Chains A and B, each alone.
Chain A
Amino acid sequence: MNAWLKSALVGIQSHAPIPFDGEMGALMTKVAAQHVDPALGFSRVAAVLASCRLASITLLPSSSSLPPAAAADTQALGADHDWFIALDSTFRQGPLRLQVEACLRLAVNAVHLPVALLPSALQAGHRQQILRAALLPIIGVRGRWLAAFNPDWRYASSSLEASAADDGDEEKHWQQGSNEQRVQYFRALRARDPTAACALLQSQLGELAAKERAALVELLATGLQANDASLLEKLLKDRSRDVRQIAARLLAMLPHSIHAQRLREWLAPLVTSRRGLLGRSWHCEAPASADPAWAEAVIESTRPQHEALGERAWWLYQLVRQVPLSWWCEHTGMRAAALLNWAEKSDWGDALSRGWRERVGAEDAEWIEAMLASDTKAFCERRAELLALLPMAQREQHWPHDVTQLQQSGLLGQIIGSCAPGETLSSRYSGALIPSLLAALDGDALRQDYALRAYLLELATLLHADSLLALREPVRVGDETTALRECLSEFQRIVATRRCLHDSPTKNMPFTERP
């Protein structure tokens, strides 16, 4: 066969060798011999060969070692379920917040995605890393099995053997799962049993890559306890700078840890009070020289080349960003707002503001409110992030109840920026927004204001589910541009999808049994 094929590749100048023996070979020889022109003879032999090959279907043997099949998933919704269309459009078209909400709705109802939607959902997770944590619990054993075949979906895959067995043993996710699945397992374990999670991390530290170490160490913030100190002290010498910084920040929150004590010892002499004519006043100084001991506390003595702060301010900032904010109040006796005012007047205000902004957490409610009220650039630039640290009810106190006012004061972007995917505004605040939202959808502002269109689509994903029924279809006069029509249709799609997903999924039970 090869010689026959080769002769066609290089050109038929003489009779080509016949590719077969036996009856076929005899027929081909006879056909080829009928022609003086060897190329025409070849063409007719090709006709014989093609006809014979079609008539004798030859298949390669099936593989004897096919991957094991996925175990049954009785929680998967059927393709005839009422949610199917809504879920399909959600994972094909987004937006991300809607995708996260869909995952959460499925998880709350303890059901899994319909099998037919797994490829589009896994692909959405491939494109949006932030979706993955929400996606993992609702793809079921079929989704984990499927993901193992696509390198882009490895974040969701378990070993094929595990998918085939699927005995509900979550520990297998830690032993055989993807990084995302391991993180998910560790998060749940930490919430359930902080000591066991700490011990697990300690026992397997040497086998983890830097990125995974950082992700898992970060999770120790949940249920942080004195017992964690020994592991965290060890992590101060980790090879990864990210891991060292996370460990240092967590250790600083354990007041009795050696690290926290050292930080206080270094910072206290720099923040001193003097008694003057007008009473006691507080002063802040930056370190005059680098302390070699800082290296063990993840404080770098060499200022990065492009750092905006001067060398001493850089050292001060690194100390400030680790020390819990409560220390400042205890040490100076000042409240958060007073401390912010004091820092503004200090020579080291930039270092202090930056350090505090990085240090502030959900536990520092008074500091957050003070920072939100401050005009300091470092806080103004991060208002959405600061708001995100507050509970929703407190956040909403900062916002007017009118969409136009929110847009004019630039607060719509802040609302959107402060809400994490999966989070929604309160029922009360959403309800209060509805009249002005409908007016904005019907009004002329939307014709010109392209930014408002994008904001309103985001808002459609953020309204509380209770308020969705109050949203009627926007009025159209018929002269809308294509882009505006698309925006209004997209708004309606998001609202309709969310309404559907907040209907009970049990209406369409039972779920389809899988083989």
Chain B
Amino acid sequence: MTIALTRDQVLALAPDGASAKAASGLLGDSQWPTLGRDDAALWGECKGSGAKPYQTQVDLIALVTRCSCPSRKFPCKHALALLLMHAGDQPRLTTPAQAPIWVSEWLASRRDKAAKKEQVADKPPLDPQLAAAATAKREAARWHRIENGTLELQRWIVDQFRHGLARFDEAQRKDGIAMGARMVDAQAPGLAVRLQHAIDALADGRHEEAIERFGLLQLLVDGTARRTELSPARVADLRSALGWPHDKDEVLASGLAVADHWLVLGLIVESEDERLSERHVWLHGRDSGRIALLLDYAYQGRGLEDIWRDGCSYPATLHFYPGTVQQRAVVKEQGAATAPAWPAFNAIESVDQASRAFADNAWLPAVPMLLDAAVPALQDDQWRVHTAVGMFVLRIDAASGWSLLAFSGGHPLQLMGEWDGRLLRVLAARNSAGEAWTAEVYV
């Protein structure tokens, strides 16, 4: 059964106001050389900046979208425009004899995936003791591979210190990249990512930062070696940092559950790889006051099926991943959105909380920073925000920097960002009139 949507319901699916506006500007016939629909899907080819039009499709049953555009927002403006046309009964959305092959293939792959899931669900459960033994065996094998990998990594790091970081050259950089690949082979992709960041810092001449990044890798090496002495929460921190987080279903079954009204404070979708997108949604619980991070991945636009719109609040139950700092969560149920104002932020408290979070878990990639009275400025070719607690250097692209400065006009803002221990990546801001700003490009 397909879902009949109204224009307002479609606009509520937009990840932010800018996407909703942009989608409204894509409703002209001229933008869409082809349009079509059937009972299961909507599709269309939308003219973009490239030579080939973007192929946009919507699964009407599950209300999932896919688009070949490079946008990091989900649903993208093209998918939203398609849905808006559907809601407005666009006459060109007719049913042809056969859907294009790119649509039928996508729908078929979704059906296959769903069928496989059902098959797995239908299988009779294994004997719990046998299942636990099998899991323990698999985990032991993986720990063994990771431990071997970390020892190799330690040798490489120590060699760099022994030879001197000033002598780090192209050959060593390539050697370091190969070491990262070995960490992936050792089933510790988190180490590969961290090593790459350390190598980048070294190659850029940021030696102090590189030493600290190597230090945190050393801590992971030592943590892996001493994992049996660590508390379960610390092991969870370790696994997460190694790139081996707990299974989503496991978290849904046993993770700390918090039902609340969750306000989206900031949202980014970033892609280090063209095909793989990573979405961070930072939420604030109205009643619990908790901060939660939803971390999702999409391969070629598939996978980001929950809709979270910047500035909206959703009644939902979140289940938190285990760890010393319970920040990451998964959502079980999500209700309809409302759009309340941001809560009050306090920069001093936020810095304290960030310090405590890093004190508990130094491997956290980033912690939220909620600043009040933050004044953005461009000084010494650096984007900064000035607050009562001190000055933050921003990780922001030039276009978003200028846009933030224009938005502020030099006046203090409420500002939300991700603090990685060195730089603050600003995701969203509000001015005293309650108007919203979000970064368009993430770096």
Contact = CB atoms under 8 A, between A and B. Distances in A.
B102 interface: no
Given A37-B158, A63-B386, A115-B409, A9 B166 contact: yes
B435 A119 contact: no
B405 A149 contact: yes
Contacts of B128: none
A85 B25 contact: yes
B410 A70 contact: yes
Interface residues of A, number: 70
Contact of B410 (A8, A51, A145, A513): A145
Contact of A46 (B28, B52, B212, B421): B212
A10 interface: yes
A224 to B, nearest CB: 41
A49, A119, A513, A514 interface centre (most CB from chain B within 10 Å): A119
A74 to B, nearest CB: 12
B55 to A, nearest CB: 14
Interface string A480-496: 10100110110111001
Interface stretch (A54-62, A384-392, A456-464): A54-62
B409 A514 contact: yes
Contact of B215 (A50, A57, A80, A84): A50
A33 interface: no
Interface residues of B, number: 70
A9 B30 contact: no
B376 to A, nearest CB: 10
B196 interface: no
Interface string B271-292: 0000000000000000000000
B162, B391, B410 interface centre (most CB from chain A within 10 Å): B410
A9 B207 contact: yes
Given A62-B390, A79-B17, A48 B433 contact: no
Interface stretch (B305-313, B333-341, B352-360): B352-360
A410 B322 CA distance: 74
B431 A515 contact: yes
A512 interface: yes
Given A47-B216, A50-B212, A55-B355, A89 B392 contact: no
A341 to B, nearest CB: 52
A476 interface: yes
B215 A46 contact: yes
Contacts of A89: 25
Contacts of B163: 11
A464 B432 CA distance: 42
B403 interface: yes
Interface in B155-178: 157-159, 161-167
- Secondary structure at the B interface, as helix, strand, loop or mixed, is helix
B215 A47 contact: yes
A13 B389 contact: no
Contacts of A54: 358-359, 362, 421
A469 interface: no
B399 A473 contact: no
A85 B21 contact: yes
B409 A515 contact: yes
Nearest to A67: B410
A5 interface: yes
Contacts of B164: 8-12
Contact of A55 (B51, B52, B362): B362
A80 to B, nearest CB: 8
A315 B25 CA distance: 60
Contacts of A146: 402, 405-406, 409
Contacts of B356: 55
Given A59-B392, A79-B435, A488-B30, A43 B375 contact: no
A407 B347 CA distance: 65
A86 B362 CA distance: 47
A271 interface: no
A-B pairs, top 5 by smallest CB distance, nearest first, are A59-B390, A46-B215, A11-B164, A69-B410, A55-B359
Interface of B: 17, 21-22, 24-25, 28-31, 33, 47, 51-52, 154, 157-159, 161-167, 207-208, 211-216, 218-219, 222, 351, 354-356, 358-359, 362, 375, 377-379, 386-392, 399, 402-403, 405-411, 419, 421, 431-433, 435, 437
17 contacts: A8-B211, A40-B154, A43-B161, A44-B222, A46-B214, A50-B215, A50-B216, A66-B410, A68-B410, A116-B406, A118-B406, A473-B28, A476-B33, A485-B47, A491-B30, A512-B433, A515-B409
Given A39-B162, A50-B211, A118-B406, 8 more contacts: A11-B161, A43-B158, A43-B161, A46-B212, A55-B356, A57-B421, A79-B17, A480-B33
